[in-house]
Every structure is written in structure tokens, then in C-alpha cells.
Structure 1
Amino acid sequence: MNCPFCGAELEPGYIYGRRDCGLLWLPAGEKAPLLVSEETVKHQNGMILGERPGLENTKLEYHLCRKCRKAVSIF
């Protein structure tokens, strides 16, 4: 599936809302680390999206465009 904004390939994964770090995206198959840092998220090929959580303790399925750094819900 391609990004509706720029046309690049989208990666399936999940957005997590965490009290300790805010929002982060991890690829499908990766589990959120217990201790979140930019280094641990990058090690899992993920991305920190924001500093403040929109929904704490939440896991939502989203596809990520690494080119334009947008997450797209496929519902």
C-alpha cells in the first residue's frame, strides 16, 4: 500500500501511547520495550512520533510512511 500524501511505500505497524515517552510507532511483529528511549526504539526500527501521549497505554494499528513521517490508519 502507498502513502496517500507522497506515494511512498507504507510499513505496517502500531502506534503506542505511553506515559513515559509519548507516542511511538513500531513495525508489526515488534513489542514495545519496557524502558523506552530513542535508542531502544531505533534499535527496533521504530520511530518516536511525539512527546505527549494522545492515548496513554494504547496500541493502535497504523501504517507509517518514513518519507513524509505520517502514520495512516487503514480502517
Structure 2
Amino acid sequence: REQKIQQEQQRLMEQLHEQRSLEMETEDRVGSYLFACNFLKPLLPNTLQTLRQDGFLQNRTELFANLVPWLNKAVTIEVQSSD
């Protein structure tokens, strides 16, 4: 009986540890995402203006459908890989 109690306690401790690890990982990912968004926010207008001046942005719909999501993803990956 004592052994079963110890096994159950061990199982619960492992489960709690795994849950905490997942919570910390989630917090890190959310933090990285928010950092990337805040980092990009001031850069985006200047970048768009330069691309527009150089003739790369003829279609605004194409820009928001392709470039912005790609740019967010690329920066998020870069930030996560630097952790």
C-alpha cells in the first residue's frame, strides 16, 4: 500500500513538472511573438515606403497577403532561434 502511494505521488510530481515545462514553453513562445510584433511595428512603415519607391509594391492586397505574414514568420523564427 505504501509503495502504491509513493508511485502515485511520483506520477503526480512528474505530471506537474511536465505541465510547468509546457506552461513555460508557451510563455516563451508568446513572449517571442509579442517581441517580434513590437519590433516590427515601427519598421514596417519605412520598409513599405522603401519597397513602394523601388517599385516592388504595385499591389497592396498582394503585400498584405504575402509579404507581411512571411515577414512576421521570419522574424519570429529568428527571435526563437536566438533564445
TM-score (norm 2): 0.23
Higher strand content, 1 or 2: 1
TM-score (norm 1): 0.24
When Rg is computed on C-alpha atoms for both structures, the one with the higher figure is 2
Higher helix content, 1 or 2: 2
